Structure 1
Amino acid sequence: MERVLVVGAGLTGGVCAALLRGAVLRRVVVWDKARGAGGRMNTSRSARDAACTADLGAQYVTLGPESAESCRSLCEELVSQGILKQLTAPIEGMVVKEGSCNYVAPQGISSVVKYYLQQSAGADVFYEQHVTHISLRDGKWEVSRKMGPPEQFDIVILTIPVPQILQLQGDIVKIVNESQKQQLESASYSSCYALGLFYEAGAQIDVPWAAQYITDNPCIRFISIDNKKRNIESSEIGPSVVVHTTKTFGSEHLDSDPVEVQQLILSHLERIVPSLPKPDSIKCHKWRYSQVTKAVPSCLGQMILHTQPLLICGGDGFTCSNFGGCIDSAVSLAESVKCHL
């Protein structure tokens, strides 16, 4: 039985695995270096109460009038399954484009990716699998990781950020030709930090908004009271707060001490929302590759690096950093792989 490896369990990887479920006699395997699904659709849990969660990456899904039909149908499916529901909570400073609609995930934004991984019908999903080398061995791809022995696959699909593709070692270094390398190197990303503040059940956060875009702070760009954003009021589960920093702050403090960064963000947060109670636990997450600021040019959502055996890459680095961009890339990847099969 042929084996297909999808590297990356984010939105593109999850949807791609689901779209490949009809490819008969092929075993789809998904590897991700994180401890769970989601990629930048990340939902984090409180260290003290697993029921208290916060979306540290994407906050909501936007469907615009320009969204492709494939994107619309997938979004409608998510709504019908209760994975997404319309955003009704007040978000100050949000720019709403005419004809667009925003959706939140009641169970946390990572539930979107988990849904697609479940729809992949039998794909084996493994976490804490950090891919380091990709090499050719007897007409197959030998893929090495930090932990565990190398494994062989007939097809490899890379959905990780473009700079991480360029960091891979092994035969892939000489397989990527100079023109492709220049295209890949031209992609760029912004960086930021996300802070999750988790509270005990019964804690009161008294602000008139569910989320707010900040325009006049050098550190903080966005604050969300996550349970209010998702329209969930429960006395049994504590509230959570998400803070995203500005891109400038993220790039300036990219390699700073995380403890110092966390304290700096908290000091700015206290000035903006002085009424916030003391959290039960805090998580500080660095998004080195947050939003795509420049996509890989001259490719329609994917790039074939090698044909026999197939090595192909995609993700929002080949489109744009939103729900539609990830879906477009996943559809393009799946179509290319099916054509190859």
Structure 2
Amino acid sequence: MIDVVDLLIIGSGISGLSAALEAKKYFKNVLIIDKGYHSGGRICSKKINSFCFNHGAPYINKSSKSFNLGFSNFINKIDKVVPFKVSSNKKTDDSVLLVNPNMRSLFNKHLNKLNINQKTKVLHIIKQVNYYQIKCDNGKIYKSKKIIVTAPAPQTADLIKDVSPEMLKYINRANFSQCISVLLGFNQSFDLPLNSFFYDEIGGICSLLYENHNSKYSKNSSLVIRMSDKWSQFHFNMTNDEIINHCLSIISKKFNIIKINNVVSTYCHKWRYSQVTKRLPSNASIVNKEKNLGVAGDWTLGPTIEDAYNSGKLVVQKILEI
């Protein structure tokens, strides 16, 4: 059976969700499909036992140029955004925001308005005369006149190479850095600044996010360790246990109050497409109007959450020539 939709969006990350919200104003039947288990892409939070780790895009920067290009209106309608203090070895910045209780909940208010099929991987996109046929790994086949692809640039290029090869010369210029994150859960809290970042290069660690989960029921706390791009690139093939042990050794030495025997939960996550290091050229087109095809993502406008959100809105407006 073939499902027919007005607009099909591949990817349920920030750009895909933003594109769907914008497209709902103009289309009756908008569908998002994504190979992952959860929507949100890099604004992800991981729950392990009683811990919740914000280990994706860490925060929203309200001082960025992109924040005031439409994203601020979206944020102002969310009641769970809280101020977030960033500390580094150079300065303290209080111009950022965190979504409470986790970053993935940024779009929670809108998810029930959207039609999203997770755990659905696109295998082939076939261009017919007046529509696209999209074949997926679960046997599903979709038919749509318009498509927007919001996957990372390398995956986007692979998906559209047969239907719009002329766009590849720009898409293939986008670059990403790899990143490794280590998540630690503790059975007690420590005297560390709450919700703060420390930028350091000791042992390859570039930032730490400590969160205190104290309540009348527990005194748990968590730490998200982000390794630098350079360290991640050279150690990406290390085993997860080796990476975790390396971080535990560095952290216990840097903060004497943290003891290894207080660690009750560990996890290592490897981001193959993490921070955008090179976006599309400013003259690159994100739509092929003749073929009703568009692309969006943080690699089209810039590397931040705000950029990713704005790119989703922009590609819908361009594909409709609004």
> Does TM, scored on the shorter chain, surpass 0.5?
yes
User: What is aligned with 1:33?
Assistant: 35
User: What is aligned with 1:115?
Assistant: 109
Contact persistence 2:208–2:225 (CA under 8 A)? yes
| C-alpha distance 192-176 of structure 1, shift in aligned 2 (>3 A) | same
Question: How far apart in 1 are the matches of 2:129 and 2:64?
Answer: 48
1:75 pairs with 2:75: yes
1:141 pairs with 2:135: no
Question: How far apart in 1 are the matches of 2:165 and 2:193?
Answer: 54
Question: How far apart in 1 are the matches of 2:54 and 2:99?
Answer: 9
Question: How far apart in 2 are the matches of 1:14 and 1:303?
Answer: 17
Counterparts of 1:260-299 in structure 2, within 5 Å, are: 260-277=242-259, 278-299=262-283
Counterparts of 1:119-268 in structure 2, within 5 Å, are: 121=113, 123-137=114-128, 139-168=130-159, 172-178=160-166, 180-200=167-187, 203-227=188-212, 233-236=214-217, 238-268=220-250
TM, length-normalised to structure 2? 0.88
Superposed CA RMSD in Å reads 2.5
User: What is aligned with 1:43?
Assistant: 45
What's the CA shift for 1:304? 1.6
Contact persistence 1:299–1:318 (CA under 8 A)? no
For 1:186, give the aligned amino acid: R
TM, length-normalised to structure 1? 0.83
Task: Give the secondary structure class of the aligned counterpart of 2:286.
Answer: strand
Contact persistence 1:220–1:269 (CA under 8 A)? no
What's the CA shift for 1:222? 0.7
Question: How far apart in 2 are the matches of 1:285 and 1:54?
Answer: 11
How many residues were matched structurally?
A: 315
For 2:58, give the aligned amino acid: Q
Identity of aligned residues (%): 19
Question: How far apart in 2 are the matches of 1:115 and 1:94?
Answer: 36
Question: How far apart in 2 are the matches of 1:318 and 1:63?
Answer: 20
Q: Deviation string for 1:85-122 (max 9, x for gaps)?
A: 122x563447567xx8211111200111333434xx2x
User: What is aligned with 1:103?
Assistant: 97
Question: How far apart in 2 are the matches of 1:76 and 1:279?
Answer: 37
Task: Give the secondary structure class of the aligned counterpart of 2:191.
Answer: coil
What's the CA shift for 1:299? 4.5
For 1:64, give the aligned amino acid: S
For 2:83, give the aligned amino acid: Q
Task: Give the secondary structure class of the aligned counterpart of 1:280.
Answer: strand
Question: How far apart in 1 are the matches of 2:91 and 2:240?
Answer: 31
Question: How far apart in 2 are the matches of 1:94 and 1:21?
Answer: 44
